[in-house]
């Protein structure tokens, strides 16, 4: 039905109350029912493939310690592998979740008690959200942007966690708090971060856990509980996917200084061991080279985010022709970080953020035509965009366009969808530019001069060029071609680090089959290999998890393999 207004234009009549109610139901209830149905199907699938012994396995008859982990309901079998392994050590497993019925049911399937993060009656008060929203708004109006981003509460870096969560949600280039609209959008992230700091304190005081375990620990609210646990002396361990599927990297954090350390790194003690006690022979470098090549050729290199799907390895000549690299000219690659990725929490950047670093390098590269520059857009962009339902332009492209406009002849881009395997570059290029990416370890091990623009992982260990300020860094890039090749001693240091990290740190999950499909979302699947309690107890991964937790070491390191 339509009506004619005084100006003579046609307008739709106001929808009836029934139509409005129906629309609200479609917008809210229907999506909820869809998610509930999907979650229930996931639970039934998990229950069907879980061996019976795990459902009845209680472990220690008198658990006297609390093991608390933050569950995302993703790869549930992995989370519960740790829970069941530690039950036998006298730990009672509890899981913090953002409440979803199927996740709670799945945890209970393994005998794990879920504790809801957002249960205000347990760890907070009903009116707390309004309080923190008002505080966040006031802080953004009264404090300089840098002060807000460096804000702490209970010793927790609430400003940094808010920034990481905000950028992950918006896929922004940076938190520009000088902009009124950006401040308004950021207020919710800051309020949530302030709330999480108080709730984390309440959780630790109420539950008094003896061990905390995290997977992704840079976003709200996990970041807050992680930091506060370390600061208060609670044993804290992280588990992250290794560079190849089927293995994990586990690391213990014990001091405030270690808070910003990348989980894929070596502790001071591990590095000292790799330098001193670990015997070094040429076959160890061959082990590293073979490990990298096999992972790249198979497409399994960080396959959890699909970094090398549908890629091929080019030899030096073919790559030079494909990228039109001038003969005799040195080649530098700017390995872009995803601007919104929370890895900036794993150290201190010398630039304001990843985007600032990227654009400033572009400006210098445009002027230095004595070097042939390649800009490599991060290959994980494709899978992460597919998982998030993101259809827009990758932010690196916008930064290139806004900074340079059209590209000069001596700068080329390797896009995310390129079929060039990263391994091809390791035999071709002369310089690697990264803030703290894994590629810096690989390049240095292959004798490629590597320049870092941040701390927290492998900087200042003798095999990279590191800088204290942006002017110092940019001055080096302006005459990049004059920086000499790595010395043999530096290459050996890089190879020792690479061997310890890529060959000794991964902990294979041998009690389950863990595969990653080469599809647009890098779909992962897990299936138990162990079907009895005896097989579970005999599993190498179970024994190593227990050994690591009991040891007190910072890194799981398979030192026996190095002999």
Question: What is the structure's pLDDT at 520?
Answer: 94
Quick one: average pLDDT of 287-306? 96
DSSP bridge pairs for 70: 96
Residues sharing a CB contact under 8 Å with residue 144, sequence separation 6 or more, in sequence order:
none
Question: What is the structure's pLDDT at 33?
Answer: 67
What is the DSSP annotation of 132-187?
HHHHHHHHHHHS-HHHHHT--BTTB-HHHHHHHHHHHHH--S---TTSHHHHHHHH
Question: What is the structure's pLDDT at 415?
Answer: 95
Q: What is the mean pLDDT of the chain?
A: 89
Give the H/E segment covering residue 96.
strand 91-97
First to last CA, the chain: 83
Q: What percent of the chain has pLDDT over 90?
A: 69
Question: What is the structure's pLDDT at 125?
Answer: 56
Lowest average pLDDT, out of 43-47, 348-352, 366-370, goes to 43-47
Count CB neighbours of 106 within 10 A. Answer: 27
Q: What percent of the chain has pLDDT over 70?
A: 91
Strands 331-335 vs 372-376: parallel, antiparallel or unpaired = parallel
Question: What is the structure's pLDDT at 38?
Answer: 80
Lowest average pLDDT, out of 113-117, 261-265, 432-436, goes to 113-117
Closest CA to 509 of 11, 115, 164, 81: 81
Residue 155 Ramachandran class (φ > 0 left, ψ -120 to 50 alpha, else beta): left
- The token pair at 91 is 């730990």
SS3 of the chain: helix, strand, coil, percent, to 5 = 50, 15, 35
Question: What is the structure's pLDDT at 128?
Answer: 63
Question: What is the structure's pLDDT at 5?
Answer: 38
**pTM (2 decimals)?**
0.91
Quick one: average pLDDT of 195-215? 92
Question: What is the structure's pLDDT at 120?
Answer: 43
Cα-based distances in Å from 209 to 39, 200, 253, 422: 29, 12, 15, 43
Q: How confident is the model at residue 86 (pLDDT cuts 50, 70, 90)?
A: very high
Count CB neighbours of 64 within 10 A. Answer: 9
- CA–CA gap between residue 478 and residue 411 (Å, rounded): 14
Question: What is the structure's pLDDT at 555?
Answer: 96
Question: What is the structure's pLDDT at 42?
Answer: 87
Cα-based distances in Å from 179 to 139, 144, 146, 176, 262: 15, 12, 13, 6, 31
pLDDT digits (tens, 9 = 90+) for 377-402: 999 999 999 998 888 889 999 999 99
Question: What sign has the CA pseudo-torsion 301, 357, 263, 273?
Answer: positive
Q: Tell the burial category of 536 from Cβ atoms under 10 Å away from its Cβ (0-12, 13-18, 19+).
A: buried
Q: Is the pLDDT of residue 4 over 50?
A: no
pLDDT digits (tens, 9 = 90+) for 412-437: 999 999 999 999 999 999 999 999 99
Q: How confident is the model at residue 505 (pLDDT cuts 50, 70, 90)?
A: very high
List of domains in the chain: 272-504 (3.40.50.2000)
Question: What is the structure's pLDDT at 437?
Answer: 96
- The token pair at 199 is 């709730």
pLDDT digits (tens, 9 = 90+) for 207-233: 999 999 999 889 988 999 999 999 999
Q: Is the pLDDT of residue 271 over 50?
A: yes
Residue that has been written with the tokens 């942006």 in this structure: 470
Top pLDDT among 494 and 168 is at 494
- Most confident range (mean pLDDT) of 86-100, 333-347, 487-501 is 487-501
Q: How confident is the model at residue 75 (pLDDT cuts 50, 70, 90)?
A: confident
- CA–CA gap between residue 447 and residue 430 (Å, rounded): 8
DSSP bridge pairs for 340: none
**C-alpha 488, offset from chain centre:** 32
Residues sharing a CB contact under 8 Å with residue 480, sequence separation 6 or more, in sequence order:
330, 332, 368, 371, 431
What is the DSSP annotation of 300-333?
-TTGGGTTTTT-BPPPHHHHHHHTTPPTT--EEE
Top pLDDT among 97 and 270 is at 270
Q: How confident is the model at residue 59 (pLDDT cuts 50, 70, 90)?
A: low
Q: How confident is the model at residue 121 (pLDDT cuts 50, 70, 90)?
A: very low
Peptide bond before 302: cis, by omega within 30 degrees of 0? no
Question: What is the structure's pLDDT at 8?
Answer: 46
Q: In what order do the strands lie in the sheet with 431-434?
A: 411-414, 372-376, 331-335, 431-434, 449-452
Question: What is the structure's pLDDT at 483?
Answer: 97
Q: How confident is the model at residue 135 (pLDDT cuts 50, 70, 90)?
A: very high
Question: What is the structure's pLDDT at 477?
Answer: 98
Give the H/E segment covering residue 494.
helix 488-498
Q: Is the pLDDT of residue 510 over 80?
A: yes
Give the H/E segment covering residue 513.
strand 512-516
- CA–CA gap between residue 332 and residue 365 (Å, rounded): 9
Question: What is the structure's pLDDT at 124?
Answer: 59
Question: What is the structure's pLDDT at 342?
Answer: 87
Q: How confident is the model at residue 22 (pLDDT cuts 50, 70, 90)?
A: low
């Amino acid at each position: 039905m339509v009506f004619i207004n005084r100006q003579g234009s046609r307008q739709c009549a106001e929808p009836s109350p029934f139509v409005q109610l129906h629309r609200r139901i479609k917008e809210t209830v229907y999506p909820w029912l869809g998610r509930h149905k999907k979650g229930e199907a996931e639970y039934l699938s998990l229950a069907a493939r879980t061996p019976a012994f795990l459902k009845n396995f209680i472990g220690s008859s008198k658990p006297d310690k609390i093991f608390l982990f933050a569950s995302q309901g993703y790869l549930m079998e992995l989370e519960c592998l740790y829970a069941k392994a530690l039950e036998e050590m006298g730990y009672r497993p509890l899981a913090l979740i953002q409440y979803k019925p199927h996740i709670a049911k799945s945890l209970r399937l393994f005998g794990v008690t879920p504790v809801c993060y957002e249960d205000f009656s347990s760890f907070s008060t009903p009116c707390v959200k309004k309080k923190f929203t008002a505080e966040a708004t006031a802080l953004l109006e009264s404090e300089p942007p840098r002060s807000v981003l460096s804000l702490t509460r209970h010793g927790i870096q609430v400003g940094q966690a808010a920034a990481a969560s905000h950028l992950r949600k918006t896929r922004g280039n940076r938190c520009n708090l000088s902009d009124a609209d950006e401040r308004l959008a950021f207020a919710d992230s800051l309020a949530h971060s302030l709330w999480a700091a108080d709730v984390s304190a309440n959780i630790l005081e109420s539950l008094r856990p003896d061990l905390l375990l995290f997977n992704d620990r840079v976003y709200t609210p996990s970041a807050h509980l992680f930091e506060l646990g370390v600061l208060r002396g609670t044993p804290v361990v992280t588990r992250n996917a290794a560079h190849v599927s089927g293995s994990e990297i586990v690391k213990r954090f014990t001091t405030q200084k270690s808070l910003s350390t990348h989980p894929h790194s070596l502790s001071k003690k591990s590095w000292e061991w790799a330098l001193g006690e670990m015997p070094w022979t040429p076959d160890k470098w061959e082990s590293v080279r073979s490990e990298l090549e096999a992972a790249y050729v198979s497409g399994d290199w960080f396959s959890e985010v699909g970094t090398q799907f549908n890629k091929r390895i080019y030899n030096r000549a073919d790559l030079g022709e494909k990228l039109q690299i001038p003969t005799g000219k040195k080649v530098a690659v700017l390995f872009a970080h995803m601007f919104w990725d929370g890895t900036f929490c794993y150290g201190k950047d010398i630039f304001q953020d990843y985007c600032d670093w990227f654009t400033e390098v572009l400006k210098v590269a445009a002027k230095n035509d004595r070097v042939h520059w390649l800009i490599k857009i991060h290959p994980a962009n494709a899978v992460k965009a597919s998982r998030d339902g993101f259809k827009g332009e990758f932010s690196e492209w916008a930064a290139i366009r806004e900074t340079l406009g059209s590209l000069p002849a001596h700068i080329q881009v390797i896009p995310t969808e390129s079929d060039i395997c990263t391994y091809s570059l390791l035999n071709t290029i002369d310089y690697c530019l990264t803030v703290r990416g894994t590629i810096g370890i690989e390049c240095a091990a292959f004798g490629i001069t590597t320049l870092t623009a941040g701390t927290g992982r492998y900087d200042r260990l003798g095999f990279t060029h590191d800088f204290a300020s942006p002017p110092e860094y940019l001055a080096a890039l302006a005459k990049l071609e004059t920086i000499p090749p790595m010395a043999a001693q530096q290459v050996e240091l890089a190879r020792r680090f690479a061997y310890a990290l890529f060959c000794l740190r991964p902990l294979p999950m041998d009690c389950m089959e863990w595969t990653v499909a080469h599809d647009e979302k890098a779909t992962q699947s897990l299936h138990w290999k162990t079907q009895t309690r005896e097989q579970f107890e005999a599993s190498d991964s179970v024994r190593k998890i227990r050994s690591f937790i009991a040891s007190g070491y910072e890194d799981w390191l398979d030192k026996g393999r190095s002999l």
